[in-house]
Homo-oligomer: A and B are copies of this chain.
Amino acid sequence: MSHDDAHPVSLQCGDCPIRHRAVCARCESSELDELEAVKYYRSFEAGQTVIWSGDKMDFVASVVSGIATLTQTLEDGRTQMVGLLLPSDFVGRPGRDRAAYNVTATTDILMCCFRRKPFEELMERTPHLAQRLLQMTLDELDAAREWMLLLGRKTAREKIASLLSIVARRDASIRHRKLRGHLTFDLPLTREAMADYLGLTLETVSRQISALKRDGVIELEGKRHVTVPDMDRLLIEAGEDSDGGLIG
Contacts and interface: CB of A to CB of B under 8 A. Distances in A.
A75 B241 contact: yes
A174 interface: no
A80 B141 contact: no
Interface stretch (A5-13, A32-40, A119-127): A119-127
A93 interface: yes
A247 B53 contact: yes
A82 B145 contact: yes
Interface in A135-178: 135, 137-138, 140-142, 144-149, 151-154
A191 interface: no
Interface in A179-204: 198-199
Question: Interface residues of A toward B: which range?
Answer: 35 or more
Contacts of A142: 100
Contacts of A127: 123-127, 130
A201 to B, nearest CB: 11
A65 interface: no
Contact of A134 (B57, B70, B82, B130): B130
A125 to B, nearest CB: 7
A145 B143 CA distance: 10
A95 B153 contact: no
A79 B152 CA distance: 9
A239 interface: yes
B248 A149 contact: no
Nearest to A140: B141
A131 interface: yes
A59 interface: no
A86 interface: no
Contacts of A57: 248
A130 B127 CA distance: 7
Nearest to A197: B152
Interface in A64-119: 70, 72, 74-76, 78-80, 82-83, 93-101
Contact of A246 (B78, B100, B145): B100
A135 B93 CA distance: 9
Nearest to A70: B145
Contacts of A147: 148
Given A145-B101, A149-B72, A153-B74, A248 B123 contact: no
